[in-house]
Chain A
Amino acid sequence: MGTIQEESYFQHLLTTYEKLVYTICFRATGNQFDAEDLTQDTFLAVYKNLPAFDGTYEKAWIVKIASNKCLDFQKSAGRRVQPTGEELFLQIEDTGNSPEQQYLEREAREGIRRLCERLKEPYQSIAVCHFCQGKTAAEIARESGKNQKTVQTWIYRARGMLKKLMREEEARCRT
């Protein structure tokens, strides 16, 4: 980018609004993987347009970018993602950390794990480490002794496979 000031400002925006953007993207798409992609796209747009940003209404500016990205995603060909009844139910949350909420969160994590276990090696172990345990590519590379670029490529491919499996599950739930 340009100055160190802009870099640190971007880091501040990422830290402050990552959860907000992810929540909006997840609500708009209904699944974790698309929400991650859209969150990345949102912050990429934030990064590219930061020099032109005047600093006013910071939160609204980022929300507008996220909204535009979500709408573009939904308008693109063949993407009429509607959360199924099950996913909608998972999004309904209780106030506080009630047992019901904990159960729903556990079920969501188990759902991701079940999908990861349907993949073949080496993608299965990579997917479990990354999507279920939340490890970064660098951490996985360090623990497994593999090249980080290789791990990143496997994660990218595993993500594509999981998205495909998730859409098949959604289609099966609707029928």
Chain B
Amino acid sequence: MQNIEEKRHITEEIWSAVSCHTISFTDYRKILEHTCTCTWCAERLAAEETKAKKEPPAYLKEQILERVGRPDVQAATMAKQTSKGLRLFWYSLRVGFAVTVSVCLLAVSLNVQKTGRFADSGLTMSGRTEYAEDGLWQLNQASQKAVSWINGFSNFLLHGGLE
């Protein structure tokens, strides 16, 4: 029989063995390993096994319904959904806050440029360069502080107020 791992999809020869129930236990396990990642072969396995005449016990369906109705399962499912929504909420809050601060910083930097201190100050060219570099450095420091504050705040929110 052809090696299942070497082929992209399971071959017709193997499907024929599945259909006739002559496939070995080891090869069936390999089929399952392949169908975990291959949608096409998963659909084909479903088609082959649907023909089988193995009936589940009559009580199985009710057992499954009873199990999914248990409080622990319901709570786990609800918690999964809630935490996803809550994470999305905090993430959007964080992004919104970051955008607001960025816009403020941009406005501040534009304002600094518009005040025209260079024209009135009488500074020399090198003095103007030093002043500009000093201003940029201060702007850089301010933005770094703002970013670290945002990160600290969002971590605070994500951890529910705990460190």
User: A-side interface residues toward B, CB under 8 Å?
Assistant: 1-2, 10-11, 14-15, 18-20, 22-24, 26-28, 30, 32, 35-36, 39-40, 43-44, 47-48, 51, 57, 59-64, 67-68, 70-71, 74, 82-83, 88, 91-93, 101, 130-131, 134-138
Is B29's CB under 8 angstroms from A36's CB? no
Is B56's CB under 8 angstroms from A63's CB? no
- Distance in angstroms from B35 CB to nearest chain A CB is 5
- Assess A93 versus B64: contact at CB under 8 Å? Given A71-B32, A83-B25: no
Say which residue of A24, A32, A59, A60 sits within 8 Å of B57 (CB atoms). Answer: A32
Is B33's CB under 8 angstroms from A71's CB? yes
- Distance in angstroms from A51 CB to nearest chain B CB is 6
Is B43's CB under 8 angstroms from A60's CB? yes
Residues of B within 8 A of A1 (CB): 68, 74, 77
Is B57's CB under 8 angstroms from A67's CB? no
Q: How far is the CA of A91 from the CA of B77 in the complex (A)?
A: 37
Of the A-B pairs whose beta carbons lie under 8 Å apart in the complex, a sample of 26, sorted by A's number, is A1-B74, A14-B64, A14-B65, A20-B46, A22-B54, A22-B60, A23-B49, A24-B32, A36-B56, A40-B60, A40-B64, A43-B64, A44-B64, A48-B77, A57-B39, A57-B42, A57-B43, A60-B43, A60-B46, A64-B39, A67-B45, A83-B25, A91-B21, A92-B22, A135-B58, A136-B62
Residues of A within 8 A of B60 (CB): 18, 22, 36, 39-40
For B, the interface residue count at a CB cutoff of 8 angstroms equals: 41
CB nearest to B36 among chain A residues? A67
Say which residue of A39, A48, A61 sits within 8 Å of B64 (CB atoms). Answer: A39
Q: How far is the CA of A88 from the CA of B65 in the complex (A)?
A: 31
Q: How far is the CA of A70 from the CA of B49 in the complex (A)?
A: 15
- Assess A67 versus B32: contact at CB under 8 Å? Given A1-B74, A39-B56, A60-B43: yes
Is A130's CB under 8 angstroms from B56's CB? no
Residues of A within 8 A of B49 (CB): 20, 23-24, 27
Q: Give 19 new A-B contacts, CB below 8 A, not counting A1-B68, A20-B46, A64-B42.
A: A19-B56, A23-B50, A23-B52, A44-B67, A48-B77, A59-B46, A60-B39, A63-B35, A63-B42, A63-B45, A64-B35, A64-B37, A67-B32, A67-B33, A67-B35, A70-B29, A130-B59, A134-B57, A136-B62
Residues of B within 8 A of A48 (CB): 73, 76-77, 80
B7 contacts partner chain A, Cβ-Cβ < 8 Å: no
B8 contacts partner chain A, Cβ-Cβ < 8 Å: no
CB nearest to B56 among chain A residues? A22
